[in-house]
């Protein structure tokens, strides 16, 4: 399985990193080895001094598909979730400056947190969901899916032009503003509306 990640999907986050607003979705992949194992702490890798949390809504693909039209995209997932796209921001900045791929900064072991899944039937409107990240019980990121530049079904249409989607693939839909550095002993808790979907410790 693969993790398909969307970058720069919220205007407020594009502005905080002073990035250009993209004309097409920014897409990158993480390998399955980047998934943080359940109940394990996240270890800050020794090649970075500036690892950031990016809380993101997730979508789990339930059917094989290629060239999926937006109007059929809803048939390709039942579950949504919440995770963290951990990013070694210092390393990413160096790679970006040289026009190089981001994988070393985003696809390292443990860089993908995946929380519990919720059936989409629990929600009236997936394009109007609140989600948030608490760091040491303080609110650090909050987003609403209505603010995505590309909504879930548009992302599925777009990425499936390039990649065959397979059962179990997971899409990270991008982070809102409020990304920030994590430190040893931080505790990160993620919520969709008032449901807690993960709690992890940083080491």
Provide the 3-class DSSP secondary structure of residue 146: helix
List binders of Mg ion among 167-186 (CB under 5 A). 175
- Residues 115-137: b if buried by 16+ CB within 10 A, e if exposed: bebbebeeeeebeebebbbbbee
Quote the least distance from Cβ 73 to Mg ion, whole Å: 20
User: What is the smallest separation between the CB atom of 72 and Mg ion, expressed in angstroms?
Assistant: 26
CB of 6 vs Mg ion, minimal distance in Å? 7
85: contact with Mg ion by CB under 5 A: yes
CB nearer Mg ion, residue 26 or residue 126? 26
Q: Distance between CA atoms of 188 and 195, rounded to whole angstroms?
A: 14
Q: Which stretch binds Mg ion (CB under 5 A): 19-27, 83-91, 96-104, 145-153?
A: 83-91
Residue 175 CB, shortest distance to Mg ion, in Å, is 5
Residue 157, interface with Mg ion (CB under 5 A)? Answer: no
Residue 54 lies near Mg ion (rule: CB under 5 A): yes
Strand segments, DSSP code E, in the chain are: 3-7, 26-30, 51-53, 55-61, 77-85, 87-88, 112-119, 130-135, 138-144, 170-172, 180-181, 187-192, 195-201
- Give residues in contact with Mg ion (CB under 5 A): 54, 85, 175
């Amino acid at each position: 399985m693969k993790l398909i990640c969307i970058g720069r999907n919220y205007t407020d986050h594009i502005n905080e990193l002073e990035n250009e607003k993209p004309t097409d979705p920014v897409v990158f992949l993480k390998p399955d080895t980047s998934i943080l194992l359940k109940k394990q702490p996240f270890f800050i890798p020794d090649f970075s001094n500036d690892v950031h949390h990016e809380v993101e809504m997730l979508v789990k693909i339930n059917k094989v598909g290629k060239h999926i039209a937006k109007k059929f995209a809803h048939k390709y997932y039942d579950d949504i979730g919440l995770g963290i796209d951990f990013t070694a921001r210092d390393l990413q900045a160096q790679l970006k400056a040289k026009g190089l791929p981001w994988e070393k900064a985003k696809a390292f072991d443990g860089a993908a947190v995946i929380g519990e899944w919720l059936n989409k039937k629990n929600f009236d409107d997936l394009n109007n969901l609140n989600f948030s990240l608490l760091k040491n019980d303080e609110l650090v990121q909050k987003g609403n899916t209505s603010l995505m530049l590309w909504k879930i079904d548009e992302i599925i249409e777009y990425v499936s032009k390039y990649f065959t989607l397979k059962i179990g693939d997971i899409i990270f839909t991008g982070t809102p503003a409020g990304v920030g550095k994590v430190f040893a002993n931080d505790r990160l808790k993620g919520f969709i509306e008032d449901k807690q979907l993960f709690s992890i410790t940083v080491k």
